[in-house]
Amino acid sequence: MIKINNRRFIGNKTKLLQEIYGAVEKYKFPRNSIFADLFAGTGVVSHYFAEKGFKTITNDILYSNYIAYRAWLDNSVYSEDKIDEVLKYCNSLRADKLSDNYFSDIYGDKYFSINDAKKIGYIRDYIEEHKSEFSEREYFILLTILMYTVDKIANTVGHFEYFLKGKPIDTNFILEPLDLSVKVDGQIYNEDANTLASKIEADIVYIDPPYNARQYVNFYHVLENLARWNKPTEFEGNSMKFKRDNLKSGYSRAEAPLLFKNLIDSLNCKLIVVSYSNTYSARSIASINKITEEQIIQILSARGNVTKREIKYNAFNAGKTDFNDHKEFLFVCEVKSEV
């Protein structure tokens, strides 16, 4: 059975969940308080707070992440029997008997073996062609199962910036159901965080923006293409990235401090919690933070009293970037009441 944290994702906060919750717990928010996660990534932080009894607002600009939230963090009905029936059919497929398709033509013999890619493409087409037979949540559950499986078997170091040189082998993968045992009372968005910030009200807002020049859509373009299923035909380079300028984050550019200030100034909440990394001295220029610690504190201090916690943390590092004494910073701002 697939769990929400069974995904390889840069910046994944699974190992920091207790630290993040601990930073909030002392403020003794009552049950059913609203927790908003504006750069939610895999959604594990929202999921954890939902387990603790919070209502959630979960957002990310990547549609592939939004799809996963609609599976993990929705509370609408679905049929387990129908999901099991589809999984049984998909798992009975003989990949070597399937025809080539869009997915195998683009990604076969690169990120996946030809047979695995044919099976992935066939299943994705099947889900789309039978969409009218599923409830919305059933549709998103099936897509999430496929995405998590694709991530698990990919011929990569943990992201899709590039694929490994060795020829990918058949994994003969099977699809497993999701563990949807946590009941979530939540709202889900697929928007730019700065646009959404002024539209919502929450008790706690958690902010975990991109830290450096590395764009998340570059790391997860294959999953984004699989999720959107618009089947683009123009790609960049050997890594097969589709055109994605509208999905690139300003937080990975020089404008990040201004964007961060505008975001913080727009929030209507009681507590702001910001995660940020201390990769200021990374050897790779692309890994150096775009917002300084001083800027974060100054911007947050305009809204209220700020405290900082340092957490020792081994960063996800699938490339050649070295981090010495890596830490995660957790900034907590108790927002001043407006006069």
Give the total number of structural domains in the chain.
1
Q: For position 119, which CATH number holds?
A: 3.40.50.150
Residue type present at position 316: F
Strand partners for 206: 37, 273
pLDDT, tens digit (0-9, with 9 covering 90-100), for 169-194? 999 999 999 999 999 999 999 999 99
Q: Is residue 100 part of a domain?
A: yes
> What residue ranges in the chain does DSSP mark as E strands?
34-37, 55-59, 186-189, 204-207, 235-236, 241-242, 271-277, 304-312, 327-335
pLDDT at residue 339, as a whole number: 44
What range does the domain containing 127 cover?
Answer: 14-335
Q: Is residue 178 part of a domain?
A: yes
Each residue's pLDDT expressed in tens, for the chain with a length of 339 residues: 999 999 988 877 888 999 999 999 999 999 899 999 999 999 999 999 999 999 999 999 999 999 999 999 999 999 999 999 999 999 999 999 999 999 999 999 999 999 999 999 999 999 999 999 999 999 999 999 999 999 999 998 888 888 998 899 999 999 999 999 999 999 999 999 999 999 999 999 999 988 766 777 888 899 999 999 999 999 988 889 888 777 778 887 889 899 999 999 999 999 999 998 766 444 555 556 778 899 999 999 999 999 999 887 665 544 444 445 567 889 999 999 864
Name the burial class of residue 88, with classes exposed (0-12), middle (13-18) and buried (19+) by CB atoms within 10 angstroms of its CB: exposed
What is the distance between the alpha carbons of residues 98 and 318, in angstroms, rounded to a whole number?
33
**Cβ(299)–Cβ(252) below 8 Å:** no
Q: What is the pTM of this model?
A: 0.91
Q: Is residue 225 part of a domain?
A: yes
Residue 109 to residues 123, 156, 222, 248, 327: CA-CA distances in angstroms? 18, 12, 14, 27, 38
Strand partners for 35: 56, 204
pLDDT at residue 158, as a whole number: 84
Q: Is residue 269 part of a domain?
A: yes
End-to-end CA distance of the chain: 51
Tokens of 69: 């939230």
User: CB 293: neighbour CB atoms within 10 A?
Assistant: 14
Q: What is the separation of C-alpha 157 from the centre of its chain, rounded to a whole number of angstroms? A: 17
Q: Is residue 9 part of a domain?
A: no
Q: Is residue 7 part of a domain?
A: no
